Amino acid sequence: MIKLEILFSGLFLMTVIAGAQSPLRIACVGDSITYGDKLSDRDTQSYPAVLERLSAGRYLVGNFGVNGATAVEGIPFRAWSATQACRDALAFAPDIVVLMLGINDLFYPEWHARYPADLRALVTRFQTLPSAPRIFLCTLTPIAPAERQAPANQAIRDTMNPAIRAVAAETGVGIIDISAVYPNRLELLPDGLHPSPEGAALIARTVLAALAPDPASQAQIQPAPTAGPVDISIRNEARAARARAEEWLRRQPDSPQPAPAESKAVSDIHALLPLLTGHSPPGETPLYPAYARLAAALAAQGHETVFPPDHAPIAWREALLHQLVQRQRIDPQGGGYWAEQNEDDPAAAARATTHALQAIARALEE
């Protein structure tokens, strides 16, 4: 009888242990902003430390930030991929990787053309880990004060953030839009570059909100029926994407000019609304002509908020711009273009790019 009681007690204990969930392991990869430089107590105030604390036991967070680190590999003594932190992060066997690198790359404009490829290589290294982590790329924090650092902040908007979005789209990883939520204020950036404790906490809360437990449940964008910081951020990035695409098209011989997209009846465009949440068009419909048709039809209707199937209402202009900015590819010369999946024909890419520009023009009302 005693033996049976011991046996049942042991089985119960094993069941409890098996049922308990271990915390997910998050590797926070980055530079001094991730490391927590300039904070009085980085062990408790850095954004990875705050993220772990806010998770209430759900996450075990590793801080793999390195002061001065870059995504670009060719800058002497700067590449994050050459650091012990990189080796430690890979050995950490993360379930989730949150990667925010680029603020130091910003100060080496001669290396900007290398930034997308080297950032992509970092993503690939984590994607090949046996732990198969979910990966998120973060857009960058601003540099303060805004009026004195206008050129640097413009480079963040026009060069770095679009490259981050493009790499995310190409590699199929998530985006955490820190730029959209981080105000350019000295109280959050006391030395102009590094977050204060309040700034680090803001980053931690933004990251925490993005880490939904099921990747399929993550919305591509948040509902935004009214104007706000997200609107301003994505419109600026869309204008930068347009400028890159126009420059890219100028370098293409005899670029085609598709006819302007026509507006379609409401019943005809309902099937295209899932484009706004990152889904493919129905059937064999090419992606970018579909975006152009959808933008023309929605602009003609005059409604700013739409209701995609199985999705919360969203502001269609910002949703469409978000998708196109995220899908733009960046060439080695810094030009931007769009192309159908697995399509390498320059003429076809030029047609897709022209259709994407038509959609952007409709969404921006410009």
Q: Which residue has the higher pLDDT, 256 or 223?
A: 256
Q: For residue 270, how many other CB atoms are within 10 A of its CB?
A: 15
Would residue 13 count as lying in a domain? no
Residues 90 and 156 in one domain: yes
356 pLDDT higher than 50:
yes
| Distance separating alpha carbons of residues 37 and 61, to the nearest angstrom | 17
332 pLDDT higher than 70:
no
| Residue-by-residue DSSP string for 207-260 | HHHH--SSGGG--SS----S-SHHHHHHHHHHHHHHHHHHHHHHTSTT---PPP
Q: What is the mean pLDDT of residues 303-319?
A: 82
Would residue 289 count as lying in a domain? yes
Would residue 320 count as lying in a domain? yes
258 pLDDT higher than 70:
no
State if pTM tops 0.85: no
Q: What CATH code is carried by the domain that includes residue 202?
A: 3.40.50.1110
Residues 51 and 193 in one domain: yes
Helix H or strand E encompassing 292: helix 287-301
- Out of 185, 217, 249, pick the residue that ends a domain: 217
- Give me the pLDDT at residue 7, please: 42
Q: What is the mean pLDDT of residues 261-290?
A: 76
DSSP 276: G
Would residue 6 count as lying in a domain? no
Which of 101-105, 180-184, 212-216 is least confident?
212-216
| Distance separating alpha carbons of residues 67 and 36, to the nearest angstrom | 9
One-letter-per-residue 3-state SS of 107-160: HCHHHHHHHHHHHHHHHHHHHCCCCCCEEEEECCCCCCCCCCCHHHHHHHHHHH
Residues 61 and 168 in one domain: yes
Residues 97 and 149 in one domain: yes
12 pLDDT higher than 50:
no
Residues 184 and 261 in one domain: no
Would residue 16 count as lying in a domain? no
Here the tokens at position 110 are 């001669």
Would residue 199 count as lying in a domain? yes
Domain limits at 76? Answer: 21-217
Here the tokens at position 112 are 């900007």
